[in-house]
Amino acid sequence: MAERSVLLVLHDVAPHNWADYRPFVEAVDALGAVPVTWLVVPDFHHRDALSTQGDFRRLLDRRLERGDELALHGYFHSDDQPPPRTPKEWFMRRIYTHEGEFYQLPQAQALERIRAGIEVFRRNDWPLHGFVAPAWLMSQGTRDALRQLPLNYTSDPQHLYRLPDFSRIDAPGLVWSARSSWRRGLSKLVSDHREQHWQNAPVIRLGLHPVDMRHDFSRRYWIETLQRLLAAGRTPQTKVAWLAAHP
C-alpha cells in the first residue's frame, strides 16, 4: 500500500485563543514528532494584532523550529463588507458564517490584504507557502489575486490547490461544528462515517478550531482520532511537506 498521511491543521490561530489550544498541542507533542500546520490570523477581528504580542510570536518561532508550518489565514478573519443583499448572501454570511472575510472582496482589496499578511510573515522571518481563506470562502477576485502572488497553495474543505493555476488535489478533511451539543453529536457521527469511507485515501486532513477545544467531547475526539490514524500507519506531515512529496 502506498504511503498514507495525516495533516493536523489548527485554524484561527491568534494570541487570544492560545489558551484554548495549549492543552491539545501539549498532548500532541507528547505523542512524538507530529508536525502541525498553524493557520495564522494577523489581526483577529481587528483587535488581536500579532505585532503587539511578542510572546506569542516567539511561540510561533519555536513551533517552526520543531518542524511545524505557519500558513496565512485571512487577515482580520471577519466579514466587514456591506450587508447582504440576496437570500444566498444572507445565508452564506449570516447563517453559515459571520467570518467569510474573502467571500465578497474584489480583486484589488483581496490583493491588498493578502500582501499585508505576507508582509507580517516577512517581518517575522516566517517562511510562507500557503493561504487559507476564513471559512474557505473565496470570491473570484480573491482567486484572481492569488494567481499574482508568490504562494504555493490554497485549500477548501476537501481539496488542496496548487498556485498559481489552481490545479486541484483531493485531500479530504474532517471538521466539526462544535458550538452546541447537538452540533457536536452530529459532527461525530458524520466524521466517523467519513473516516471509515476514507480509510484508504492517500491523505486525511484534521481541521480543528478553537471552539472544539472548549468542550471535552470534541477535544477528546480529535486527540483520539489523531492517535487512531497514526496507529493505522499514517505519516503525520504539514501541508507544504505533503505537497512537496506529491509533485
**Does position 18 have pLDDT exceeding 80, yes or no?**
yes
Q: What pLDDT is attached to residue 70?
A: 98
Q: Which residues, 6+ apart, have CB-to-CB distance to 195 below 8 Å?
A: 174, 204, 225, 229
**Does position 78 have pLDDT exceeding 90, yes or no?**
no
Contact 15, 48 (CB under 8 A): yes
User: Using 50, 70 and 90 to split pLDDT, how confident is the model at 94?
Assistant: low
User: Using 50, 70 and 90 to split pLDDT, how confident is the model at 223?
Assistant: very high
Task: Give long-range contacts, CB 8 A cutoff, 24+ apart: 228-232.
Answer: 229/6, 229/195, 229/204, 230/6, 230/31, 230/34, 232/4, 232/199
Task: Give long-range contacts, CB 8 A cutoff, 24+ apart: 122-127.
Answer: 124/50, 124/57, 124/60, 124/61, 126/60, 126/61, 126/64, 126/70, 127/64, 127/70
Using a pLDDT cut of 70, give the percent of the chain over it: 93
- 5-244 CATH fold: TIM Barrel (3.20.20)
| Distance from C-alpha of 99 to C-alpha of 163, rounded to nearest angstrom | 24
**Does position 95 have pLDDT exceeding 60, yes or no?**
no
Q: What pLDDT is attached to residue 225?
A: 98
Q: What pLDDT digit, counting tens, does each position of 185-218 carry?
A: 999 999 999 999 999 999 999 999 999 999 999 9
- Note the pTM of the prediction, 2 decimals: 0.94
